[in-house]
Structure 1
């Protein structure tokens, strides 16, 4: 390698070296940074639309109607697939601490949701055998509260782990909304989850996008 080529590859001074570091950091963030706004928007829309469907087609005995419930699950599935499609390319090639954090984070989601599903399956089987409006109401509220408890706690831990304040606020908001819904009960539960829960996520997505744009400016 000639002296001339070496001169062009090595930064001429501190300012040029800092510019090279900033450029490399920007390229890394563009490839690997996981921004909260797209995920919050996806889940906010899923909650807003999905819970509204449950509220509009609520059965008189507080049971979960089949078609709206499948639509609700479909909304959550779309949001989940979008989450995987967004996160997996961002984490590809990441090694070390970031990779371990991502693995633990994925385990928290998968194991937490798996355990909540098993708990709800056992509880709902018992409540279905009773088959009264009161039992149906409790089954619906508990089926909503347990997964929201997992989501809210994981969001709060995510905020502490990655220093993302908007996720901490959102996690606390989800827990607060779910607490209110569980206390208030039917017939307003699904409307509160739709407007306050889904709407809260959409507001958080806008706040996150605006704050991210200001940092990038």
Structure 2
């Protein structure tokens, strides 16, 4: 029987201030890329024989900025919590949509057309993969690194910054037409109640 692999997204929840520092390094890469663009334009003007290519220094700086960002990202990811999510099968997803339809008069529900009070708590435990032998995760060389009980882990996440954004990613992979960001980064404030979100 031919089977189609479900849409999958991997989210890393970074610890402490790692996400903020990673954002700073991303900004540094963006500035370096802009500098390369400016230098490339400047290189089009006539230069004296002894003048160096203005793009040479800019390209070196860009390579250094990217290396610094990538090195820290790898280091921070090793401290973070990876969450791998697989889309539900079509009938299971449709059943959830029927059971958790939007409430009358609730503006939050109107955006996605679902009950934002109940669906996240039901959907996330179903889409987060905890199977160490999952063939999809093994094939993609990725797995969730959540320690302990899944409900305790989800309960440790603050609503908007982490929990709701995880839900939006889970929603995106199930809707199909919605773009899912496979490299979504989330931060995580230290929590004394869960080893999965503590430094």
Q: TM-score, normalization: structure 2?
A: 0.28
Q: Return the structure number with greater relative CO, CA threshold 8 A, min gap 6.
A: 2
Higher helix share: 1
Higher strand share: 2
Q: TM-score, normalization: structure 1?
A: 0.26
